[in-house]
């Protein structure tokens, strides 16, 4: 039987109860501990981490590897063990997105990604050198477009 959320952002949405992600340590700045990933379309680049407990709480997220070719997530073995996580390749990784009025202002938090495995989620501190708190989300795409335009000229 589907779980129904009366979302203030999306209206009434139905979620498979098996898709609910439990965050035993919560998310930084939020009280909710149960979320579901909601996609507006099948292969969406952006998803919403929607609270099951708070119909007004939906956080935009994305897989950082779609926008940052050199993205790496580094956690030491002790942290993986403490959180009960498998090796990182066996997890889904998302970063929160901060929207703006202009595309140049969109940023992603590469410093505190969200790792999901086996129905449990954890926001972790990325120990990779140079993982910024506010990385320009479309920076690489803009640079690639500028380089392509230069080569075409």
List the domains of the chain with CATH numbers. Answer: 3-152 (2.30.290.10)
Counting DSSP H helices and E strands in the chain, the numbers are 2, 11
Q: Determine how many CB atoms are found less than 10 A away from the CB of residue 22.
A: 13
Residue 88 reports pLDDT greater than 70: no
The two tokens of residue 88 are 């990182």
Task: Record the pTM.
Answer: 0.85
Q: Determine how many CB atoms are found less than 10 A away from the CB of residue 70.
A: 8
pLDDT band at residue 147 under the 50/70/90 scheme: low
Residue 138 reports pLDDT greater than 90: no
26-34 contacts at long range (C-beta below 8 A, 24 or more positions apart): 26/123, 27/59, 27/114, 27/123, 28/112, 28/123, 30/57, 30/59, 32/57
Residue 143 reports pLDDT greater than 80: no
pLDDT band at residue 115 under the 50/70/90 scheme: very high
């Amino acid at each position: 039987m589907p779980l129904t959320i009366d979302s203030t952002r999306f209206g009434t949405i139905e979620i498979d109860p098996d898709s609910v992600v439990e965050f035993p340590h919560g998310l930084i700045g939020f009280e909710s501990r149960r979320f579901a990933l909601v996609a507006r379309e099948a292969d969406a680049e952006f998803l919403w981490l929607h609270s099951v407990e708070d119909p007004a709480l939906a956080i935009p997220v994305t897989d950082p590897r779609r926008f940052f070719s050199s993205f790496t997530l580094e956690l030491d073995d002790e942290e993986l063990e403490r959180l009960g996580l498998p090796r990182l390749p066996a997890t889904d990784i998302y970063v929160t997105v901060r929207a703006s009025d202009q595309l140049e202002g969109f940023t992603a938090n590469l410093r505190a990604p969200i790792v999901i495995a086996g129905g449990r989620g954890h926001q972790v501190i990325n120990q990779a050198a140079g993982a910024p708190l506010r990385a320009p989300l479309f920076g690489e795409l803009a640079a690639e477009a500028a380089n392509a335009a230069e080569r075409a000229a």
